Structure 1
Amino acid sequence: MAEQVSLDQLKDRQIAVLNKIAYTDMPTKNWHAGDSLYKRVQAADPKLAKELKAAGLDHLVIKDYTNRNDKSGFCAIAYVDPKTGATGMSFRGTEGMDDLLHNPKDMADNTMTASIGVSPQSLEAIAFFEKNEDKSGNNYLFGHSKGGELAAEVYVTNYNNVKEVHTINPQPINPYKLSPDQLAALQRDKFDAIVVNGDIVAWLGTTLYPVRYVKNNGTQDGFFGPHAVDAMMIDKDGNAVIERNPFSGYFGQGIAALLATKILGSVQRHLMLYSFTINVMVRIGNFLVNDLPDLVHKFVDHLKKAIDRFVEFTHEVKNALKEFVGEVVNSVSSWFKKHFNSGYKYATAHPFIQVDTYKLRSYAQRLESINRRLGQIDRRMDSLYTKVGFLDLWNLIQADLFTGESYKLRKCAAYLEETADDFETVERKIMGSL
């Protein structure tokens, strides 16, 4: 039996398996949170389940699973490491790279991501993470191909709450939409991208994060064979074997990768303005949904500094972008407050505060009256101690504990009186200044 491995001790063998489990088609209605991940994978893919067990990952339990392959194409699974409490999430990529025409939803999503930097699946991935994340930040992300790009999308939006990201042959995230702090986050050691020799998907765009280029084991056939997770060469210790000569033995894929990088890089640069503005809206919306107004202001400051460094834009365009950022913050902030903040919604519908100080004082007097009556009951019960027998004494003591003047009621009455005084004082000052 393989020794159990926690999510903070993974080698490349375990990383490969966790990237592959996102492709498992489990029944969407029969699983439950807390189910054994191993048993669920075994029912759907016995071969992969065997790999999961051999890798020492059969102790993981399911936290959430979604499969929208017939709709948007988004598929992901979240699981928990019972040993550490860490949460892992694996995102599925595009299936059937040798038959692209049969994957219209995935390919349309890939095109949107590469060109303007956002897609329906990227928004679903962010929502999936925020639903299932470990709030202490003990989160690990995995993704192959399009799933690697989704993992990157989640990471740059929530990088402070992610411990590690492990991707294999990931589609590059569009770098022109990212803010300076997001670009810096991609350069951290916690972001790990493995690219197998001969893969071209990892070069479909501009790659600005570190890449571990590894050898191909030669087991996968076809032009897109090197793109498969199983194409990665792993040594006896469970580590991927580093490749020193990229595209050696894969001349055709090398030419295709070079052309793809040049063409898509040019497209991304020309659509930079669209990518940038869309990311602003997505990021601010994310901050506001999670009630992080301080991060909104910091993000806006970073953006305005970044805009000044855009050499491609004229002075007028830069000023227009800054105004756009400010308008987006205000409009998006107001929209979220109106829909998610009931107090704000009521205040905007009722801009004038009407306070009936007479009723405040009336409520205070009623509380004082209740307190006096409690005091009277308490004194009457005290007189009973000399008249009850021994058997009734315990019941009398218990009843007596619930009577007597209440400090809380007296405090509430005083608060109402003081509030009425304060409102009347402010009202006199306002009337005097008119």
Structure 2
Amino acid sequence: MSLDQLTDEEKHVLLTLSYVDLPNNQRLEGKSLEQIWQTAKYNFDEKDDTYHTLNDFITSRNFENSNLKGVTLVGYENFNPNEMNNSQGKSDSGFVGYAFKDSEDNSVAMFRGSESMGNFGHLKTDWSSNLEAGVGIPIQQQNEANAFYRNYMGDLDGERLVLGHSKGGNLASHVFVENLDDNVKSYVINAAPLYWWDLSDRQKEALKGDRNEFIVFKLDPVSQLGYVPYVDRTVGTKPRDSIFQVFNPFYTHGLAAVGGFDHNGNFSRSEKGANWSRDGINYLTAGLVFGASMTNPVLLKKASIYVQNVTPYIMAAAAKGLARTANYLRDESIKLVARLQQMNQALKSRLNSFFDDVAKKAAGLVAGLAGLMSAGSASAAYVEPVISVDIGRLKYYADRLQNLKRRTSHLNEMIDSLYWEAGILGLTHVLRADLSTSFDHRITQSISYLNNTANLLQRNERYLAQQAHSVRT
């Protein structure tokens, strides 16, 4: 059986699994779905819907012949702001992703949706970014989902599928439209929609095409929060059997509300497309979302993020001496920002000066580094007759640099977040701080150099010791 033939029920099981935390103190890669569940199931109450969905499927006789039998985990990242985080301090954005593959290198990635609003950490990460993504502001979790896809599925040759529910559906849709050339497919349930008005024509057509399945449960509210002219199926839900469910508007949003599956694993109650009432409501909610996205605070934030994203490209062009390219990027950026926000002449002049300052500093920094390198090569002409190396110290300095790298990475993230808060008028000050940490990749190179040198010297020492021993004997 194969991951490129998953049924609705099997996809539903994987999406349910995406809400399960896995331990961060043991190696998980290479484990089967059964082994993953055996590791994680003891964290659940047996009355929990998630426990029932997963345990009933994995322990059933049908599992032996399912497409999920024999698949193995190839990637798991948990960036939640709690003790389950496995990023070693790299991120606490709230992103969680899983990747599995089968024996034919077909692969599937699942992205977790938003978690409980009762937890302040999730409220700060998931729910604040939900609002931003809804009005078209790029969010960190979307970038992390795309990086996850490339890291764990980019080198696999088989079919590729991304899955998501709720906010996880937004992440899966983002990965889908950003990697159309990979022939990746997408399947989402009750997804928070992408911001339609920033998509290219090709991306819009892809969302309407056969490679993308946008599934909604009847009366689901979250999938209405944006313009969605591409609903593929509307699925019936279980009857509400408690007063809480009757008055809970989000009952139909949860995966546990599904109305069931037939003996082939297809939804037992579904109809093609969206009904007329859903389409009518969608026009109304889409209009409200679009109106919110055109307010000044949102436009200012979009402009600031765009400037933040284009700045490294201007820096790179200037550093390589490509003045015409740097100027073109600067001019086009100012035009775009002017369309996003009403700009007076003073603000336009200040933004123009900011980009010029970026280019000059980048070019000057590269020139300074080149001077240091040439000076260093000249001073290296004299060769010591004897080189004394303390291998233990090499390892010690590598560890110190590793610690510095972690702190620099955290500092970079903090500086990046300031772009969001500074606005266009404060970008110059943030840039000064950003430039001072923009060459932290050299730390990684230095760590690698020290470790490789230490290992090489150790091997040579062992070889020379063996040769000396053979000479004596």
Answer yes or no: is the 8 Å Cα contact 2:33–2:72 preserved in 1: yes
Partner of 1:20: 16
Matched, 1:235 2:262: yes
Match of 2:97, SS state, is: strand
Residues 276/51 of structure 1: CA separation in 2 closer, same or farther (3 Å cut):
farther
Match of 2:287 in 1: 262
1:104 aligns with: 123
Q: Aligned-pair distance for 1:40? A: 1.0
Say which SS state the counterpart of residue 243 (structure 1) adopts: strand
Instruction: Give the one of 135, 147, 152 matched to 1:115.
Output: 135
Change (3 A) 1:171 1:242: same
1:183-194 matches, within 5 Å, as: 183-194=204-215
Report 1:360-371 matches (<5 A): none
Tell me the secondary structure at the aligned position of residue 213 of structure 2: strand
Shift of 1:8: 1.1
Please state if 1:60 is matched with 2:71.
yes
- Counterpart pick for 1:171 among 192, 198, 205: 192
Distance 1:74 1:80, change over 3 A: same
Q: Distance in 2 between matches of 1:185 and 1:277?
A: 29
* Residue 346 of structure 1: how far off its partner (Å): 6.6
Structure 1 window deviating more from structure 2 (12-21 vs 115-124): it is 115-124
Q: Which residue of 2 aligns with 1:36?
A: 32
5 Å-filtered alignment, 1:84-99, equals 84-96=104-116
Quickly say closer, same or farther: Cα 1:245–1:161, change in 2 above 3 A: closer
Q: Deviations over 1:11-32 (max 9, x none)?
A: 2112211222111111122233
- Gap change, CA 1:145 and 1:280, over 3 Å in 2: farther
Deviation by residue 1:395-414 (Cα, 9 ceiling, x = unmatched): xxxxxxxxxxxxxxxxxxxx
Cα pair distance change 1:32/1:216, threshold 3 Å:
same
Give the distance between the partners of 1:112 and 1:212, measured in 2 at CA: 26
Residues 282 and 228 (structure 1 numbering): CA distance in 2 closer, same or farther, change over 3 Å?
farther
Instruction: Report the alpha carbon displacement of residue 349 of structure 1 after superposing the two structures with TM.
Output: 3.4
Residues 176 and 275 in structure 1, CA contact (< 8 A), matched pair in contact too: no
Of 228-237 and 103-112, deviating more is 228-237
Shift, 1:277, TM fit: 7.3
1:212 Cα shift? 1.8
Q: Which residue number corresponds to residue 152 of structure 2?
A: 132
Deviation at 1:111, TM superposition (A): 1.0
In structure 2, which of residues 182, 185, 189 is the aligned counterpart of residue 161 of structure 1? Answer: 182
Q: Percent identity?
A: 25
Conservation of the 8 A alpha-carbon contact between 1:91 and 1:151? yes
Give the direction of change, closer, same or farther, for the CA distance of 1:331–1:311 in structure 2 (3 Å limit). Answer: closer
Match of 1:380 in 2: none
Report the count of equivalent residues.
335
- Pick closer, same or farther for the CA change 1:348–1:157 going to 2, 3 Å: farther
CA contact (8 A) 2:5 2:67 kept: no
CA distance in 2, matches of 1:110, 1:160: 27
Q: Partners of 1:316 and 1:187 in 2: how far apart?
A: 40
- Read off the aligned partner of 1:159 and give its amino acid letter: L
| Equivalent residue, structure 1, for 2:408 | none
Q: Distance in 1 between matches of 2:263 and 2:21?
A: 30
Which of these residues, 215, 232, 251, is aligned with residue 225 of structure 1?
251
The Cα shift of 1:49 comes to 4.3
Shift of 1:213: 3.0
Q: Deviations over 1:179-224 (max 9, x none)?
A: 444334433321211111110100112225x212323232563321
Letter in 2 for 1:170: A
Give 2:98's aligned residue.
77
Output the CA distance in 1 between the equivalents of 2:141 and 2:130: 9
8 Å Cα contact 2:217/2:236 also seen in 1: yes
The letter of the residue matching 2:152 is N
* Matches of 1:162 and 1:331, distance apart in 2: 38
Distance 1:27 1:219, change over 3 A: farther
Looking at structure 2, the residues matched to 162 and 49 of structure 1 have their Cα atoms a distance apart, in angstroms, of 33
Go from structure 1 to structure 2 and tell me whether the alpha carbon gap of 1:244 and 1:11 turns closer, same or farther (over 3 Å shift).
Answer: closer
Distance 1:111 1:316, change over 3 A: same
Distance 1:158 1:280, change over 3 A: farther
- The alignment's C-alpha RMSD in Å is 5.1
Cα offset, 1:88, TM superposition: 1.5
Q: TM-score when scaled to structure 2?
A: 0.56
Partner SS for 1:73: coil
Task: Give the match's secondary structure for 1:110.
Answer: helix
1:135/1:269 CA distance change after superposition, 3 Å: farther
CA drift of 1:96 comes to 4.2
Structure 1 unaligned regions, length at least 5: 290-296, 339-343, 355-434
**Quick check: 2:15–2:165 contact (8 Å CA) kept in 1?**
yes
Q: Provide closer, same or farther for how the CA distance between residues 110 and 85 of structure 1 changes in structure 2, counting only shifts above 3 A.
A: same
Amino acid paired to 1:122 = Q
> 1 CA distance for matches of 2:301 and 2:36?
42
CA separation in 2, counterparts of 1:254 and 1:264? 15
Q: Identify unmatched segments of 5+ residues in structure 2.
A: 42-50, 83-91, 317-324, 375-473
Deviation of the 1:87 alpha carbon: 2.4
Partner of 2:105, secondary structure, is coil
